Amino acid sequence: MPPIRPCELPATALLRKYQGGQAYVDCYVAEVPLAVSHAEFVAAFYTTRLFKLERAILKWLAALPSSDAGAQALAAGGASTFAAWRVEGRDADQLLMADLLGRTRSWLMASPAGGNPAGRSTRLYFGSALVPKLDPSSGRLAMGFAFYALGGFHRLYSRLLLGAACQRLLASRCKSQAGQP
């Protein structure tokens, strides 16, 4: 599996609009040794076993079902919602999703590594933004207890999600090269 490392947001990242304010913003990157389209990355990300666990929890807790077909439609640009998220922004190489409560953002981007558009490797980015909410007792914007309590888990989970997507893409490519369905 390729290493997952924290990095700065690329200059063109749709997630940048949350940087520099009071929101928490992170970004992770991995480089896979194959050409991957943005649609392939999005579909792989939302159909990994790990993300399917999150989808199952959302179906059970919030009555927000989702499917692999829904993930494929989102990846292809044919859907504007998926489980607990809605599309906030989309570009040819990136997707910015907002949760239905408006507190979190998830961002995915795929770009050829080394600036070579026909490259044989791809940088896959995954980032998040957590937006503060108004604390009624103080009248100030605050992240809340859950943000501080779950921050370490969030960073680990982000790396695991990106790693799972990389593994899915690599395994899928190996199967297709071997002629397996």
What would the pLDDT profile of 29-77 be if each residue is shown by its tens digit? 999 999 999 999 999 999 999 999 989 988 888 888 899 999 999 999 9
Angle between helices 38-46 and 68-76 (to 10 degrees): 160
DSSP 4: -
Residue 180 lies in a domain: no
Residue 86 has pLDDT above 70, yes or no: yes
Residue 32 lies in a domain: yes
pTM of the model: 0.87
Task: Give the pLDDT band (50/70/90) at residue 138.
Answer: confident
Residue 10 lies in a domain: yes
Residue 181 lies in a domain: no
Write the burial class of residue 48 (CB in 10 Å: 0-12 exposed, 13-18 middle, 19+ buried).
Answer: buried
Residue 179 lies in a domain: no
Residue 51 lies in a domain: yes
CA-derived radius of gyration, the chain: 17
Q: Are strands 24-32 and 85-91 parallel, antiparallel or unpaired?
A: unpaired
Residue 162 has pLDDT above 80, yes or no: yes
CATH of the domain at 167: 3.30.530
Residue 92's pLDDT is: 94
Residue 134 lies in a domain: yes
**Phi, then psi, of 137 in degrees rounded to 5:** -75, -35
The domain tally of the chain equals: 1
Residue 133's pLDDT is: 75
Task: Give the pLDDT band (50/70/90) at residue 176.
Answer: low
Residue 60's pLDDT is: 87
- Residue range of the domain that includes 105: 5-174
